[in-house]
Amino acid sequence: MPTNTPSPPLLDVHDLCVSFTSRGQVIPIVENLSFSIGEQEILGLVGESGSGKSVTAMALMGLIDAPGVHVSGFARFKGQDLLGLSGKQMRALRGREIAMIFQDPMTAFTPVYTIGWQIDEQLRAHQSLSRRQARTRTVELLGEMGVPDPANTANRYPHQLSGGLRQRAMIAMALSCNPSLLIADEPTTALDVTVQAQILDLMRRLRTTYGSSVLLITHDMGVVAETCDSTLVLYSGRAAETGTTQDLFAHPQHPYTAALLASIPPMNGPRPTRLPAIPGAPPQPLERPTGCAFAPRCTYTHASCLPAPPPRFARLARRIRLPACCPRKGIPSPSAFAPAQHLFCEKPHAVPFPHRAGGSSSLIFRCNAAFAGGKGCLQDLQPQTRANTPGGRWRLLYRYARRGAGSCRGIRLRQVHTGALPAAA
């Protein structure tokens, strides 16, 4: 009988931690990173320089297995525990099942051999092909990647090709054994925008032509918007936010994501004279706070951000219609953080609660509030589901910060979490 069980992700990473030991000090680079990549999915790993993107990729590829490097966590790839494989098993997997393309193909290719020789070798290392068969496949692959005159180009050395052609040759080499997962570490950074667009187009076609999934590492939100199905935002070695690209761009939930997006010049409407910038710089790994790493630079920091990282919410992004009895407008703006206040909804509401007989359940909402005369943000919004029955009463416990004077002009609620309340919420 056919079942509707969703297929497991191609790569499932849980609590990945990477640290380096230097002069007796343990430097945490990546902390408790979790994400998954489905079949033929393109996941964008985005973050500023030094946030740990390349270290994450290298750890998954088993390329930073050296004294002083500590990698822990769990990474399941096609049913195998990636981090538990021996060097020999990893070498057999690398190139054949998981391939990587690097930011600068000039340094990734060996300068003393021709491009064709290097792709031939990759093919022959994983498949039993003769030299002639390997070269035929190499020329085919270069042609598929849009390299003009592939037979002659195969006989050239890396320095004899333009940056765009070198990157195409690098992708051809990575795809030579038809890998299920391609890790592309900033593949377009060194290229001009026209060639960049062609390479991104090529990446998008990989999943249909080769059935590959892609982990695309970049610091360019434009590249993410154009190419990726889903996005993971990394900040100082920790996941700030994850979601489908469309949802994350339309409704950023983490202040860091929102600030990154706000710093992109708008395509429509008047261009601002000055783009908003995030003040300060990310913390050094050894100075990373125990709470939210973004707190020192965040406009919305409050006491509960400091002792521990804020809980992460699954994105449901369900728009909630507030009941008529809920005071949506005219909530006074306090001059500082107000003590917890309550919005009571006295009438049955339209939100169906997840109901478990005998158990308790909770809903967590994210809320945008517009304040007359200034910007504001409701914080700690926790509906308290007193009677967990459909149609039961609910109330909102809220606290908010604001900039500028005036009273609240309106509140928009979106349900972002269903289930047990995370401990820190």
Ligand X SMILES: Nc1ncnc2c1ncn2[C@@H]1O[C@H](COP(=O)(O)OP(=O)(O)OP(=O)(O)O)[C@@H](O)[C@H]1O
Query: What is the rounded end-to-end Cα distance, in angstroms, of the chain?
Result: 42
Q: Which structure tokens are listed for 206?
A: 């990989």
Burial class of residue 176 in the structure, from the number of CB atoms within 10 Å of its CB (0-12 exposed, 13-18 middle, 19+ buried) = buried
Asked if residue 293 binds ligand X (CB under 6 A), the reply is: no
Q: Which stretch binds ligand X (CB under 6 A): 48-56, 161-169, 259-267, 341-349?
A: 48-56
Q: How far is the CB of 41 from ligand X (least distance, A)?
A: 21
Q: How far is the CB of 219 from ligand X (least distance, A)?
A: 5
Q: Which stretch binds ligand X (CB under 6 A): 9-17, 51-59, 330-338, 349-357?
A: 51-59
Beta bridge partners of 396: 343, 383
236 vs 415, beta carbon nearer ligand X = 236
Residue 331 CA to residue 35 CA, distance in Å, equals 39
69 vs 151, beta carbon nearer ligand X = 69
Q: Which stretch binds ligand X (CB under 6 A): 46-54, 90-98, 323-331, 350-358?
A: 46-54
Kindly report each contact of residues 320-324 with a partner whose C-beta sits within 8 Å and lies 24 or more positions away, as own/partner: 320/351, 320/365, 320/413, 320/414, 320/415, 321/350, 322/411, 322/413, 323/347, 323/348, 323/349, 323/350
Q: Which of residues 14-43 bind ligand X (CB under 6 A)?
A: 20, 29
144 vs 220, beta carbon nearer ligand X = 220
Of 50, 143, 296, 334, the one binding ligand X by CB under 6 A: 50
Asked if residue 53 binds ligand X (CB under 6 A), the reply is: yes
Number of residues that bind ligand X (CB under 6 A): 11
Residue 217 CA to residue 109 CA, distance in Å, equals 20
55 vs 60, beta carbon nearer ligand X = 55
Q: Which stretch binds ligand X (CB under 6 A): 33-41, 49-57, 150-158, 223-231?
A: 49-57
Taking the C-alpha atoms of 30, 35, 38 and 44 in order, what is their torsion angle to the nearest 10 degrees? Answer: -60
What is the pairing mode between strands 69-77 and 80-81?
Answer: antiparallel
29 vs 119, beta carbon nearer ligand X = 29
Q: Which of residues 212-231 bind ligand X (CB under 6 A)?
A: 219
* DSSP conformation class of 253: -
Residue 264 CA to residue 252 CA, distance in Å, equals 14
Asked if residue 188 binds ligand X (CB under 6 A), the reply is: no
Q: Which amino acid is at 254?
A: H
Asked if residue 283 binds ligand X (CB under 6 A), the reply is: no
68 vs 311, beta carbon nearer ligand X = 68
184 vs 369, beta carbon nearer ligand X = 184
Asked if residue 51 binds ligand X (CB under 6 A), the reply is: yes
Burial class of residue 51 in the structure, from the number of CB atoms within 10 Å of its CB (0-12 exposed, 13-18 middle, 19+ buried) = buried
Strand ranges for 60-190 from DSSP E = 69-77, 80-81, 98-101, 181-185
Q: Under the rule (CB under 6 A), what is the footprint of ligand X?
A: 20, 29, 47, 49-55, 219
